Structure 1
Amino acid sequence: MATTLITGSSSGIGWELAKCFASGGDDVVLVARSEDKLQELAEQIRNEQGVAATVIPADLSRSENVDQLCRSMKERSIAVDTLVNNAGFGALGRFAELSVDRQTDMLMLNIVALTRLTRLLIPDMIHRKRGGVLNVGSIAAYQAGPNMSVYYASKAYVLSFTEGLREELAGTGLHVTCLEPGPTQSSFGEDSGMGKLDMFSSSTMSAAAVAKAGYKGYLADDDIVIPGWKNRLMVTSVGFLPRIATRKIVGKLQSV
């Protein structure tokens, strides 16, 4: 029996990814700040899929909590086969006006926690020669994002890190995939402030559809999964435009 750990699994894409892996027969470890929501999901998974669902509430924007999460799993004799780094958040606003603490927390969660957790768990995966990592990025990775500069930069890191790690682990038997969704029906829009933008509200995919695409892509050992033809078209189009043009376009679309 394989075990999959999903961060940020209390809602949205993380919630749906947990259901995908459970439906495939994996035991799941559910991690997020909201214990009540995690318990709700765990009960649903146990009842519907008949697999084990372990709840570990944690705020992963603190490095010490990443380490504590790993210690907690070791104490429970849980060996993680697949790590799904889904936890993350964004914030719409000018860099000089957004809270410095909020932007620092964003980097800690979107980049540092993802990197640290991967580093702590992947040696055992390599030793067992199975499993891997599914990182949830964003199509924001493909261009600069004025008025969300830190968020876009953090997702560029996730894409680059995933591609580099995949190449390092070639031949080990591990899967390393980056899921790059566009606007998605989840709490992200409201939490980040992007939900009020036309570019977000007019072309969202369901979290279930995004998760299903990511799950299938991971099983197929795809390197990058961009769900939805509109999102794929957007990413392709970016490649034909000068970077100065794309950042000006995005800046206008995200004007605050």
Structure 2
Amino acid sequence: MDGGTALVTGASAGIGAALAREFASHGHDVVPVARRTERLESLAADLESQGVTATPIAMDLDRDGAAADLYETVAARDLDVDILVNNVGVGTYGPFRESDLDAERTQLQLNVVLPVELTRLFLDDLSDGGAVLNVGSVAGFQPGPQMAGYYASKAYVNSFTEALAEELRETPVAVTLLCPGPVDTEFQARAGMADSSVGALSSNTPEAVAEAAYEGLMGGETVVVPSTSMRVVDLLGRLAPRSVVRRVAHWVNGDR
């Protein structure tokens, strides 16, 4: 999969911006998508300084019909997308019974509905050897008290992506699931997790995550967990009794 254009959602910051830069560093043209226009334009200028073409699309993806609108915008601009990167996502934090229902809907829209719809819309266009990179999470391999909706949304992404990878195993389309653990981004602050213990013991940089994701995608890996400590956490979570997993997750997601 040499060259080609990568469309990256949620590209204005964090893992999304790092992924956009990673693809550009390997000679891929990039279509960064996010709602913050100034950040997108700044990122696009940075990407083009690396000798690639960057076509920013400023769009709020938190609404019904957003996936179709994005697909139509890409088509209207005659952009040929070879790699779809479903990165955008948000998280809610705190006891579910106290959660804001609109925030829960937004989480489902961005974390689940949007990547499923975009993958379906772009899949036929990728049939000649394209790829899909979905950003799931190590959180999706276990239940997450205090972040019940977020963990559940990532469980959907993880399962969906692995299943799709198997369905397309004998085709030219590559499908990779990226499962980072805690990463040094705006995510925790936006989710209201400033006092949480998440990331206190182990965290990663967006750049390291993006590098591992790119290498895994190009190497044909189905699941990429870009951290030794998170691979250990995943293994322990699979071996330990579920009651223990739930209680440990509750402790980790609780206040310091």
Q: TM-score range by the shorter chain?
A: over 0.9
Task: Measure the CA separation in 2 of the matches of 1:56 and 1:162.
Answer: 25
Structure-2 separation of matches of 1:212 and 1:218: 10
Give the distance between the partners of 1:70 and 1:239, measured in 2 at CA.
38
The Cα of 1:209 is off from its aligned counterpart by: 0.5
* TM-score, scaled relative to structure 1: 0.96
Letter in 2 for 1:108: Q
Q: Deviations over 1:8-59 (max 9, x none)?
A: 0000111000011111111100101111111110000101x11110111112
By how many angstroms is 1:236 displaced?
0.6
Corresponding residue SS for 2:56: strand
Report what 2:141 is aligned to: 142
CA distance in 2, matches of 1:171, 1:4: 22
CA contact (8 A) 2:197 2:253 kept: no
The residue type equivalent to 1:222 in the other structure is E
Is this contact kept in 2: 1:83–1:134, CA < 8 A?
yes
Summarize the alignment of residues 3-152 of structure 1 with structure 2, pairs less than 5 Å apart: 3-47=5-49, 49-126=50-127, 129-152=128-151
Specify every segment of 5 or more residues in structure 2 that has no aligned partner in the other structure, as ranges.
none
SS of residue in 2 equivalent to 1:205 = coil
- 2:90 and 2:136 map into 1 onto residues whose CA distance is 11
Tell me the CA shift for residue 253 of structure 1.
2.1
Offset, 1:69: 0.9
**Partner-residue secondary structure (3-state), 1:185:** coil
Once residues 71 and 172 of structure 1 are traced to their aligned partners in structure 2, the CA distance between those partners, rounded to angstroms, is: 25
TM-score by length of 2: 0.96
**Percent of residue pairs bearing the same amino acid type:** 42
By how many angstroms is 1:100 displaced? 0.2
Secondary structure of the corresponding residue to residue 247 of structure 1? helix
**Secondary structure in 1 matching 2:199:** helix
Measure the CA separation in 1 of the matches of 2:248 and 2:228: 20
Aligned-residue CA RMSD in angstroms? 1.1
- Counterpart in the other structure of 2:212: 213
> Which sections of structure 1, spanning at least 5 residues, go unmatched?
none
Aligned-partner SS, 1:198: coil
Q: Secondary structure at the match of 1:90?
A: coil
